[in-house]
């Protein structure tokens, strides 16, 4: 296929999240968030959720890469690459340190004013997630996170505060980052904790609790969308899901149906966000399992009134499932249940499947006919500096190039409406699942190690120069 480049105005950029790069966790009046009480993990060692901050533990998010103080230098590097947009999140506890405060914290609001001004100075459009895997820790301790309907009100107040404040600076918003991860990873505690502020109790039915909590979040999201559109009708407000398509293991019809059923866990979130109502398969499943989900009549009206303008999603990998798994040895829970023999994996066992991205774009566009925005995609790897201190990350370039080629096909051949592309961790930052620094995604290297040592100095990897050319040529030169 001839590469004609990308549509005019295509939003090339990069993505990060407040708690994974800002640092300054208790500066400028910020309160602790869920992300601040999680320790570093490692390969095979899960991150620990501590009960408050415990002296002597390693909390990588506390300093992260110190973007809080160095954002000007970093934004200048993004501008040098030619970024058209930059996706980050607002640390909720910078704005409302306890989540339930009467008044917002002015220093926190000012920080994002300054950051957005700096981006706009270079013509970089901010793309903002309201809650990216963190909520004020006080809301966890005193309300049980999104178990409580009061937290819906606190989120709405937070959303209205930042919409009002930045209504002339930010156009693209998203409500909750990867809201569906807590469903796909029910037994991995950090997802429910960071996304919803929930820790499961011994003996409770996690799945039932999860659907209740997620209902509250979906209402919170809908209320935010509705409020935002009143504040500025030109806002584009999207949802954000982790999209991991599930392929059937074979053409055995039972495998096909297994993949359909597994996909319901993903579609559930998009169906409510985009169509504003609960799908039949979810209602049937709740009935079958005897789940008692508390939904107020007003909630259903709000879900309908707060449907999203576009679908933001992350795409890292595809997965495979099979009806009869008796012959399958074991699988990585995060990655999916059955290995795909056609696909290679990263060092962290994440399958690398560029064609799956085209497939994802197709199925979502066919189902909803809404603009799509790839707000995360990327290759986490161990980067090694050579004797000159340079990082030759051709593996990352190769990964991104192959995904961009598939995006192009989705636009040119399949007619998908794609707003933009923001590769994850455009500057090295703290990994979410492991809390490590050594799992790097960036075009920009940051001198910081797992144990917290390092000068924090920034340097350009080979992928920096490559991505600059991609943007300059609007995707013609890959
Ligand atoms: C997504 C999250 C990000 C991010 C990314 C990469 O799930 O939205 O916050 O970290 O995955 O994951 P990791 O950092 O664990 O490699």
CA gap 305, 223 in Å, rounded: 8
- Tell me the best of 179, 374, 432 to mutate to test the pocket of ligand 1, counting ligand atoms within 8 Å of each CB and taking the most: 432
- ipTM (interface predicted TM): 0.98
Is 3 part of a structural domain of the chain? no
Nearest-CA residue for atom 9 of ligand 1: 432
CA distances (Å), 285 to each of 83, 225, 248, 288, in order?
44, 28, 21, 5
- Number of domains, the chain: 1
Is 361 part of a structural domain of the chain? yes
Encode burial over 149-174: b for 16+ CB neighbours within 10 A, e otherwise: ebbbebbbbbbbbbbebbeebbbbbb
Is 478 part of a structural domain of the chain? no
Is 294 part of a structural domain of the chain? yes
Is 417 marked active-site? no
- Tell me the best of 424, 441, 442 to mutate to test the pocket of ligand 1, counting ligand atoms within 8 Å of each CB and taking the most: 424
Ligand 1 centroid distance, CA of 140 (Å): 22
**Among 108, 129, 100, residue whose Cα is nearest residue 195:** 129
pLDDT at 331 (0 to 100)? 52
Q: Which residue ranges have their beta carbon within 6 Å of ligand 1?
A: 17, 20, 133, 177-178, 242, 314, 376, 380, 424, 431-434, 439
Mean pLDDT for the chain overall: 95
230: Cβ contacts below 8 Å, ≥ 6 apart: none
Is 4 part of a structural domain of the chain? no
Is 390 part of a structural domain of the chain? yes
CA distances (Å), 369 to each of 175, 280, 366, in order?
20, 20, 6
Is 5 part of a structural domain of the chain? no
Ligand 1 centroid distance, CA of 435 (Å): 10
Is 6 part of a structural domain of the chain? no
Which two structure tokens, joined as six digits, stand for 204?
A: 């409770």
CA distances (Å), 368 to each of 97, 208, 254, 321, 322, in order?
37, 27, 26, 24, 27
Counting from 1 in the atom list of ligand 1, the atom nearest the Cα of 433 is 15
CA gap 90, 61 in Å, rounded: 15
439: Cβ contacts below 8 Å, ≥ 6 apart: 348, 380, 381, 382, 431
408: Cβ contacts below 8 Å, ≥ 6 apart: 1, 3, 6, 475
- Residue written as token pair 């866990």: 265
Phi, psi (5° rounding) for residue 211?
Answer: -65, -30
Residues forming a β-bridge with 417: none
- Tell me the best of 35, 176, 433 to mutate to test the pocket of ligand 1, counting ligand atoms within 8 Å of each CB and taking the most: 433
pLDDT at 329 (0 to 100)? 67
Structural domain for 146, as ranges: 11-472
Q: Are 360 and 243 in contact (CB under 8 A)?
A: yes
What's 43's domain CATH number? 3.20.20.80
CA gap 452, 443 in Å, rounded: 21
251: Cβ contacts below 8 Å, ≥ 6 apart: none
CA gap 158, 112 in Å, rounded: 14
User: Could you tell me the sign of the dihedral formed by the alpha carbons of 140, 143, 149, 150, in that order?
Assistant: negative
**pLDDT tens for the 478 residues of the chain, in order:** 667 789 999 999 999 999 999 999 999 999 999 999 999 987 778 899 999 999 999 999 999 999 999 999 999 999 999 999 999 999 999 999 999 999 999 999 999 999 999 999 999 999 999 999 999 999 999 999 999 999 999 999 999 999 999 999 999 999 999 999 999 889 899 999 999 999 999 999 999 999 999 999 999 999 999 999 999 999 999 999 999 999 999 999 999 999 999 999 999 999 999 999 999 999 999 999 999 999 999 999 999 999 999 999 999 999 999 998 887 765 544 455 788 989 998 888 889 999 999 999 999 999 999 999 999 999 999 999 999 999 999 999 999 999 999 999 999 999 999 999 999 999 999 999 999 999 999 999 999 998 889 999 999 999 999 999 999 999 999 9
Which two structure tokens, joined as six digits, stand for 278?
A: 């609960």
- Predicted confidence (pLDDT) per residue in 329-370, tens digit: 655 444 557 889 899 988 888 899 999 999 999 999 999 999
In three-state secondary structure terms, 129 is strand
CA gap 298, 48 in Å, rounded: 38
């Amino acid at each position: 296929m001839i590469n004609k480049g990308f549509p005019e105005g295509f939003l090339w950029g990069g993505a990060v999240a407040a708690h994974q790069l800002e640092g300054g966790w208790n500066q400028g009046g910020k309160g602790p968030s869920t992300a601040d009480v999680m320790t570093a993990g490692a390969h095979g060692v899960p991150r620990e959720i501590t009960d408050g901050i415990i002296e002597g533990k390693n909390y990588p998010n506390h300093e992260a890469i110190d973007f809080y103080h160095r954002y000007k230098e970093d934004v200048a590097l993004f501008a040098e690459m030619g970024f058209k947009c930059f996706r980050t999140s607002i640390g909720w506890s910078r704005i409302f340190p306890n989540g339930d405060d009467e008044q917002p914290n002015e220093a926190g609001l000012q920080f994002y004013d300054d950051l957005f001004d700096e981006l706009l100075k270079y013509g970089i459009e901010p793309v903002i997630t309201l809650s990216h895997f963190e909520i004020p820790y006080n809301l966890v301790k005193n309300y049980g996170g999104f178990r409580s309907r009061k937290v819906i009100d606190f989120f709405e107040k937070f959303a209205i505060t930042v919409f009002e404040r930045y209504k002339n600076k930010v156009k693209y918003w998203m409500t909750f980052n990867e809201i569906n991860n807590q469903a796909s990873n029910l037994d991995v505690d950090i997802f429910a904790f960071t996304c919803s502020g929930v820790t499961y109790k011994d003996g409770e039915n996690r799945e039932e609790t999860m659907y209740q909590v997620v209902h509250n979040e979906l209402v919170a999201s809908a209320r935010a969308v509705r409020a935002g559109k009143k504040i500025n009708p030109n806002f584009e407000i999207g949802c954000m899901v982790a999209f991991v398509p599930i392929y059937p293991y074979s053409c055995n019809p039972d495998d096909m149906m297994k993949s359909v059923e597994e996909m319901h866990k993903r579609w559930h979130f998009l169906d409510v966000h985009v169509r504003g109502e609960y799908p039949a398969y979810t209602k049937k499943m709740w009935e079958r399992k005897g789940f008692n989900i508390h939904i107020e009549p007003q909630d259903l009206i709000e879900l309908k009134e707060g449907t999203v303008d576009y679908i933001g999603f992350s795409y890292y990998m595809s997965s495979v499932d099979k009806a009869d798994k008796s012959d399958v040895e074991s699988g990585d829970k995060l990655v999916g249940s059955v290995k795909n023999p056609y696909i290679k994996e990263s060092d962290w066992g994440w399958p690398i499947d560029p064609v799956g991205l085209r497939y994802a774009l197709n199925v979502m566009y066919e189902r909803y006919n809404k603009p799509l925005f790839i707000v995360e995609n990327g290759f986490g790897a161990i980067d090694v500096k050579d004797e000159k201190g340079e990082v030759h990350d051709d593996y990352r370039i190769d990964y991104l190039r192959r995904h961009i080629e598939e995006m192009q096909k989705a636009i040119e051949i399949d007619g998908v409406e794609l707003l933009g592309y923001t590769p994850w961790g455009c500057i090295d930052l703290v990994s979410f699942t492991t809390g490590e620094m050594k799992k790097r995604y960036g075009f920009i290297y940051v001198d910081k190690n797992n144990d917290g040592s390092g000068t924090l100095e920034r340097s350009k990897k080979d992928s920096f120069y490559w991505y600059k050319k991609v943007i300059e040529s609007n995707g013609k030169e890959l």
